[in-house]
Structure 1
Amino acid sequence: MAEIGIVIPAAGQGKRMGAGFNKQFLLLRGQPILVHTVRLFEESSYVSEIVIVGAESDLLVIKELVYHHKFLKVVAIIQGGAQRQDSVRTGVQALSSTIQRVVVHDGARPLLTLQAFHRFLEETEEFSAAIMGIQLKDTIKRVDLSGKVLETPPREGLRAVQTPQIFDRGILEEAHHQAEKVGYYGTDDAALLEWMGYPVQMVEGSQENIKVTTPDDLWLAERILAMREA
């Protein structure tokens, strides 16, 4: 398996959390959310390098966390851009030239397990671009700006997208470069490759691999970790 580098965008301020500071510094089972996220990749034998991309005001705190927890695979902690896409592009550039497979994973998604991550790597080894996602439980409606229902797409063809997302470095960098040239912004990195016409493979994720965005998410994450420990 090729050397894998991890880019963790962690610059979001998390306004929906209402904490008044970066939600990734909130404690989850006594440790910052970001620490849970980084530790997973630090412990993976497949991961060679980790780059964390944060807001300028958070860089010192992130550096202190990395030093305190002895995360030796973190090779760079850098300032993010105006948008998440800008942050990921900068993060990829900070990886060593030997890294040819790049995984992008949300800093606020701390419940990915080592087993699930390694299974993801094995299932996506033959694909140039692959993402994790889960089937939807609820019926989805597409509506217009006034709230009028336009259609009900069948759930069978819909997935809620998660991270990690994995890419061959060359096509990821090309997609970011082309998007930057024309000012195109996608909802995630996979959207850039779709925009460029590259195939992206979806593999099954986990209902527990939640992104901590609101106080309810933090409560749920606490319960999930408590059950795992039990």
Structure 2
Amino acid sequence: MRKEKFVSVIIAAAGKGKRMNSHINKQYLNIGEKPVLAHTIEVFNKCSFIDEIIVVTHPDEVAYCKEKVINFFGLEKVTKVVAGGKERQESIFNGLKAVYQKCDIVVIHDGARPFVREEYILKSIDEAIKHKAVGVGVPVKDTIKVVDEEKNIKNTLNRNVLWAIQTPQTFDYQLLLRAHKKAIEDGYLGTDDTVLVERLGEKVRMLMSSYDNIKITTPEDLYIGEAILRNRK
């Protein structure tokens, strides 16, 4: 069923990662012997049901990304490296405009999330063909508190209905494009792509992912990433 659809992947790698406290973009820091971004793209590059990969990176890093990651590691499914915008949402929209004109399904994934498993990519594509919008995530482990501006607890949320959203997030291409255009029209800025589709009144399916599908955000995450990499080897 998947083979009947043209599947494009947009890798979001335009963020500077201020919480990393590094002069190097977090996507280009090494885990093991490869940059985080190379690990990430490789998973999709090896997946036979992916037809093309668009990498969206910082405007100042387009040439570096092509030379040091795409070409150096032979990631041949990457068809374009495009410049991102000031916000993630703008970067994804730039990616949506760059995909192949006959794209059916589009997969959005964080460049700093290198431990995604192929099985979740394939499940997401299958579910998106059926339901048009799919997210992956995991139930939260911690108790979640709502805190006011004075740092006082206002409310304790029901942990049983709370999930931490991850990527990949997978969509019918035309649906996600419409959701982005609507957000631009309304001046709305979301934190991920599923919320843009939710604003249209569309349902988004949630799939169980894994807790090791972490996003490299802080220096501590690099140590955790090294441990995950060793464990998988």
Same fold (TM over 0.5): yes
Does 2:226 correspond to 1:218? no
CA distance in 2, matches of 1:35, 1:159: 28
CA distance in 2, matches of 1:4, 1:150: 44
| Structure 1 residue corresponding to 2:53, chosen from 50, 72, 78 | 50
CA distance in 1, matches of 2:225, 2:178: 36
Deviations 1:140-190 (A, max 9, x none): 011111112111111111000000000101110011011111210111011
Uncovered stretches (5+) of structure 1, i.e. residues with no partner: none
Q: How far is 1:68 from its partner?
A: 1.5
1:66-85 equivalence runs, <5 A: 66-85=70-89
User: In structure 1, what is the equivalent of residue 122 of structure 2?
Assistant: 118
CA distance in 2, matches of 1:228, 1:116: 16
1:78-157 equivalence runs, <5 A: 78-157=82-161
User: In structure 2, what is the equivalent of residue 25 of structure 1?
Assistant: 28
Provide the TM-score with structure 1 as the length reference: 0.96
Uncovered stretches (5+) of structure 2, i.e. residues with no partner: none
CA distance in 2, matches of 1:140, 1:147: 14
Stretch moving more, 190-199 or 116-125: 116-125
Does 2:203 correspond to 1:195? no
Give the letter aligned to residue 9 of structure 1.
A
Q: How far is 1:122 from its partner?
A: 3.5
User: In structure 2, what is the equivalent of residue 166 of structure 1?
Assistant: 170
RMSD value, Cα: 1.1
Does 2:180 correspond to 1:180? no
CA distance in 1, matches of 2:214, 2:83: 25
Q: Please state whether the residue corresponding to 1:105 is helix, strand or coil.
A: strand
Aligned sequence identity (%): 38
User: In structure 2, what is the equivalent of residue 40 of structure 1?
Assistant: 43
Provide the TM-score with structure 2 as the length reference: 0.95
| Structure 1 residue corresponding to 2:212, chosen from 193, 208, 211 | 208
Q: How far is 1:53 from its partner?
A: 0.5
User: In structure 1, what is the equivalent of residue 12 of structure 2?
Assistant: 9
CA distance in 1, matches of 2:112, 2:83: 17
Aligned length: 229
Stretch moving more, 160-169 or 108-117: 108-117
Q: How far is 1:51 from its partner?
A: 0.3
CA distance in 2, matches of 1:97, 1:222: 38
Deviations 1:114-162 (A, max 9, x none): 2332233334441110100101110001111111211111111100000
Does 2:64 correspond to 1:61? yes
